[in-house]
Amino acid sequence: MKPEEINVEDNISTVKQFLLLGFYELPTLQGFLSGVFFVVYLIIVFGNSLIILITVSDAELKKPMYFFLAHFSSLEICYVSVTVPKIMVNIWTQKRSISLLDCATQMCFFFILGTSESLLLSAMSYDRYVAICNPLQYPLVMNPKKCVQLVIGSWFSGMPIQIEQTCQIFSLDFCGANEIDHFFCDLPPIIKLACGDTFMHELSVYVVVILVGAIPFILIIVSYSKIVSTILSLPTASGRSKAFSTCSSHLLVVLLFFGSASIMYFRPKSKHSAGIDKLFSLFYTIVTPMFNPLIYSLRNKKVIAALRKLFFKT
């Protein structure tokens, strides 16, 4: 049964908490969904932890590409931990309430980490660009200091923007319905609950998405256009195959992450629906992080070799 709304006085911002409806429309599947989320969460944490472990312990992976991959896996664990544990608790307890402060905190960390992933994927594409297009300069350009700077920039550059955006969103008046038809505090369903004109806030959201999402994606596309051009100019088929194999995994992850997120946040408000929003949110918050370790391990011979050494001590 759909939870009842908290009574509020008209035209007064008295909403003190929201109700995350989650998957209330599937009452007979709550136990199944709980199990699915629990298993998926374990897969994400275990898979990405393995990636971190082998990149730290295996001498063959002491290269910038795998340094970035280890940090990307760390980000993935943090990213899913912002939303999935709360989803599981809500399903287990059937207590769907979340305070405004907790909702704002969840949204803020979700977007900070999402921005960090976007920037780190851009840094990883730059690494592949230098390695393939300027191989002789690669050791000099991608030196340890530069790699650390790129990682620190990816982790922390989005914080001021996303903290400011979160403060702006939660400065709105919420004086009507308090039910969020979603499984976490995402931006589109929160804005739907705000009173009054939200046009400027929606506009600021688009600006932020362009800054932290569209621009990094464009830079990645530019990098890969040059990478592909360079690969196609290689004289041998084996050389082209080897070059493609070093960047195909990253490109696939980029398409999964940016593709689903862009559909979610670049659609106009009138095109948003609860069901579609949940579907796309599930994809970029849970499905993509679950497949990332598989994509990088199954398509990378050095990662496979490192995993064999870890488990079989060969």
Model confidence at 155: pLDDT above 90: yes
Model confidence at 8: pLDDT above 70: no
Identity at 292, one-letter amino acid code:
N
Share of the chain above pLDDT 70, in %: 90
What is the C-alpha separation between 301 and 43, in angstroms, rounded? Answer: 21
- Average pLDDT score over residue span 179-203: 85
Model confidence at 4: pLDDT above 50: no
Across the chain, mean pLDDT equals 84
What is the C-alpha separation between 99 and 15, in angstroms, rounded? Answer: 9
pTM: 0.87
Residue 291 pLDDT class (50, 70, 90 cuts)? confident
- Average pLDDT score over residue span 171-187: 85
Model confidence at 128: pLDDT above 70: yes
Residue 267 pLDDT class (50, 70, 90 cuts)? low
pLDDT tens, residue by residue, 231-253 = 888 787 777 777 777 777 778 88
Computed over its alpha carbons, how large is the radius of gyration of the chain? 21
Helix, strand, or coil here: 223?
helix
What is the C-alpha separation between 36 and 42, in angstroms, rounded? Answer: 10
The bridge status of strand 17-20 relative to strand 179-180 is parallel
Q: What angle do CA 177, 178, 184 make, to 5 degrees?
A: 135
What per-residue confidence (pLDDT) applies to 218? Answer: 92
pLDDT tens, residue by residue, 87-124 = 998 888 888 889 999 999 999 999 999 999 999 999 99
- Phi, then psi, of 268 in degrees rounded to 5: -65, 155
Could you give all domains of the chain from N- to C-terminal order, each with its CATH number? 17-312 (1.20.1070.10)
Q: Are 260 and 280 in contact (CB under 8 A)?
A: yes
pLDDT tens, residue by residue, 34-46 = 899 999 999 999 9
- Phi, then psi, of 297 in degrees rounded to 5: -80, -45
Q: H/E/C letters for each residue in 96-114?
A: CEEEHHHHHHHHHHHHHHH
